[in-house]
Amino acid sequence: MFELLGSKVMAGVVALSMLLFSSFQGNDPQLSHIKHYSSSSTLYLSGELLSAFDNDFSTIFASSAPIPVYFKLNIKSGSRTVLSQQLTHLVSFNPATGIYVLRKDGEPEVLRTSSVEQIIKEVSKYRFNIPYESSWGLININIQAEMPLVRLEEGGKEMDLMVLWKYKKPAAKILIDLRKAQ
C-alpha cells in the first residue's frame, strides 16, 4: 500500500518538476458544447477537446509510450445514475517508421499517419452512441476528459499527463428531455 502511495507521490513530483524546470508550457483544455441527436432508441453525443494539445503534445506523442486520453460519460435521471461509460483514445508512435497510430474505442478504423497535427485533431474528437429508454425522462449528461500516469521511455519514469492540462479535467454538461426526443 505504501509502495503504491509512494509511486503516486513520486509521479506527481516528477510531473511538477517537469512543468516547473523544463520547457513544457501546459495547456488550458476545454470541452466543446455537447452536440446531440436521437433516434427512437439511440442517443448520439459528440464533441471535441479544445486547446488541449496545443503545447507539448507533439513531444509527448512522439515519446514511443502509448498515450491514452479518456472521455468519461455519466448520465443521471434525477439523482440516479442510469449510465456510466468510458471511451479510450490511444495514441502510439513508431519511431522506426515515423507513423502515429490512433485507436478509438468503439470505432473499427485505426488512423495511421505521419502527421502529428492530424493525430491531435482526431484524438480530440469523441462520439458516444447510447441506447436509451424514454422512461429515463429528463437526464443530466456530463462528459469529462482526463489522462493517466504514463511511463515515458526517456528515463523510464512515470509522468502524470494531467500536469500538461494544469490538473484541469475539462467537462461539458447538457440537460435533455428524452420524452421529447421521440
Share of the chain above pLDDT 90, in %: 66
Confidence at residue 1, expressed as pLDDT on a 0 to 100 scale: 53
Q: Is the pLDDT of residue 58 over 80?
A: yes
Residue 7 lies in a domain: no
For residue 10, is it within any domain? Answer: no
| Position 94 in a domain | yes
Q: In which residue are the cell numbers 439523482 written?
A: 79
Q: How many domains does the chain have?
A: 1
Stated pTM of the model = 0.84
- For cell 484541469, name the residue: 168
pLDDT of 17 over the 50 cut: no
Annotate the chain with three-state secondary structure.
CHHHHHHHHHHHHHHHHHHHHCCCCCCCCEECCCEEEECCCEEEEEEEEECCCCCCHHHHHCCCCCEEEEEEEEEEECCEEEEEEEEEEEEEEECCCCEEEEEECCCCCCEEECCHHHHHHHHCEEEEEEECCHHHCEEEEEEEEECCEEECCCCCCEEEHHHHHCCCCCEEEEEEECCCCC
Q: Per the domain annotation, does 153 fall within a domain?
A: no
pLDDT in tens, 76-127: 999 999 999 999 999 999 999 999 999 999 889 999 999 999 999 999 999 9
Return the CATH number at 107.
2.60.40
Range of the domain at 102: 26-148+168-177
